[in-house]
Amino acid sequence: MKLGRIVLTGAAGMVGSAVREALRERAGRLVLVDRVPMDARAANEEVVTTELDGLGGVLDVVRGADVVVHLSGIPDEAPLPDLLQANVLGTHHVLEAARLGGVPRVVLAGSNRLTGHYPATRTLSADLPPRPDGLYGVSKAAVEALGHLYADKFGLKVISLRIGSLEPEPVDARHLATWLSPRDCAGYFAAALTTPVTGFVAGYAVSANARRFWELPDLGYTPLDNAEAFAARIPDADAFFTSTTPQGGPFAAPAYTLPHLPPPT
């Protein structure tokens, strides 16, 4: 199914780069939005260079779109005020602009880090309560709460794809569970444009890894790649998958968050 106008925010980032071609193939017009200058690569691409730092600017960009795929924000641990500004308020602006601008569907960049403190021996569904592995995960829990609100209260269709470890290939033991290949990433986001949903839906975007932590979502896409094909390159991989290891691995360690906490007064 081909759509008329798709808006992709954060288009210059790692995830945006992975999904750009797949979205372009499904759009009459693909609007690429980022604060980083970009070049259009096809006749149906349009580039908008902007900060998207307020509701008015977001509304100007998304009004009348068929789908907004919202990827912009801070993608890792940072001070909480920065994460609230970029991730939470930024998502609020997008959802509110979608409501005002007649956009029926928004696809959000969720994160597996929202549940990074569950043990590595447990298989999770997207229905379990958040257990973030850091402040970044907290911001993504708030992003999903906003998605729920706009779906329940205003009737938007909102899909949060909890993105796994997007890498060309797995490079460490944790990736044997969390790896998301670039082609599977593109496949999940392309499916999320049109898959039938009611209200808010969250699902883990992860490749078909034999050791994955998460149930595969029912969102119209079956992943093709398996990190196990690379397991022989990763020494002592089995040692990671114990009941005392959090799924977030190093992201769940205090040392990963401590530098981003405010100094005592």
Q: Tell me, yes or no, if 136 is annotated catalytic.
A: yes
CA-wise closest residue to 205 among 170, 153, 141, 160:
160
Of 118, 136, 150, 188, the active-site residue reads 136
CA distance 73 to 140: 10
- Close Cβ partners of 255 (under 8 Å, ≥ 6 residues apart): none
What is the bridge-based pairing of β-strands 27-34 and 45-49? parallel
Give dist(CA 226, CA 12) in Å, integer. Answer: 26
Distance, CA of 3 to chain centre: 21
Q: CA–CA separation, 142 vs 147, rounded Å?
A: 9
CA distance 131 to 50: 33
Q: Which residues are catalytic?
A: 136
